[in-house]
Structure 1
Amino acid sequence: MCLAIPVRIEALIDDERALADIGGLRKEINTALVENLKVGDYVILHVGYALNKLDPEEAARTLALFEELGQLQAARDAALEEGELSMEGKA
C-alpha cells in the first residue's frame, strides 16, 4: 500500500527543491514533477517527491481525516494498554 499526503510549501530552494511543512516538521522535498509552485501551495507528497498540486480545501479535508485517524489510533492504543481491548486473533 502506498500513502501520499498533502503538504504545504513553506519555501522554494530552487527549481527542483522546496521546504514543506509535514505535520509541523519542515523537510526538503523534490518538486521537479510539479510546475509553477509558489509558497503556500499544497502538493501531494509521496516518498519525498511532490506529485501534483492540491486544492487548499481538499488538503484541509484530507489532513483533518488523517488527524481523526490518528486520534482513533491513539484511543485504540490506550485501550489496549489498559486491557480494555484484546488483539487475540487479529492479523
Structure 2
Amino acid sequence: METIVGWHIDLEFREIDTKTEAAVMLRLHDGTELRAHGRANKHPDDPEQPRVGEEIAAARALNELARQLLTKAGVEIEEVTHLRAHLAM
C-alpha cells in the first residue's frame, strides 16, 4: 500500500541594507508548525549578488529547521520506546 503525505513550506526573505534574513515555516500534515530563521551579511567589498545572500540565509534557516525536526522525531521515538533516542545530523 502506498501513502502520499505532503508538507507545506513557506520561505520568505527580507533584505535590509547589507543583511538578508530568511524565515521558514513548515506545516506538517498533523497541523504542527515549525519556524526557523537564518541570516546572511554582505561584506561591503562584495559585489551585488542578492541571490547569494538569499541562498546563505535560506540554508541557515533550513538547517535550523532540520534540527527542530530531528528533535521532534527524537521526542516522539522516546515517548513510544521509553529509551533515549540518538539522532544525529
Q: TM-score range by the shorter chain?
A: 0.3 to 0.5
Tell me the TM-score normalized by structure 2: 0.38
Q: Which has the higher strand share?
A: 1
Q: Which has the higher helix share?
A: 2
Tell me the TM-score normalized by structure 1: 0.37
